[in-house]
Amino acid sequence: MITYLYWFLVIVIAIGLLALFGKKDKWKPGFIVCGIVLLVGLLAYYFHFEQMFVKRYGGVMSVSVPEGQQHITATWKDDNLWIENYDPETNTCHFNEYSKGNLLQGKVVIKNCNPVALPPSPRVFSPATADAKTTKPVVP
């Protein structure tokens, strides 16, 4: 929702400036200013506002898991998204940072990670153990 509001305001400002220049019969500078406003709005969104909107105000963002990897987890550090994926072919875990505009991307590689091969957690409840607790043992 916040993303739609942002783009609505950017477009209203651009069209308003175009109309203002159009009233004075200065269409060429009007289109130039309109294009500059739209370009600045696009760059500001991509390099500053996108992740901030997603984290703080419930915006929408899409990130794809690389081919051949399995997604493990994702977390936020400040306004940057960190995603952990597992590559079973190389047995490594990859932490990738998605920063604003993807300019400063951090990456951490953990070798011999193998998180999928961990033993499953023990079952807390099973019907067999429930019956054993409620049934009294037979004493000969």
The pLDDT tens digits for 60-115 are 777 888 898 888 888 888 778 888 998 888 888 988 887 766 666 778 888 988 77
Q: How far apart are CA 78 and CA 99, in angstroms?
A: 10
Domain spans of the chain, in order of start:
2-57, 70-117
pLDDT of res. 24: 87
Q: Helix %, strand %, coil % for the chain, to 5?
A: 50, 20, 30
pLDDT of residue 127: 53
16-50 b/e with 16+ CB inside 10 Å = b?
A: ebbeebeeeeeeeebeebbeebbeebeeebeeebb
Contact present, 30 and 15 (Cβ < 8 Å)? no
Q: What percentage of the chain reaches a pLDDT higher than 90?
A: 20
pLDDT of residue 121: 45
Which pTM was predicted? 0.58
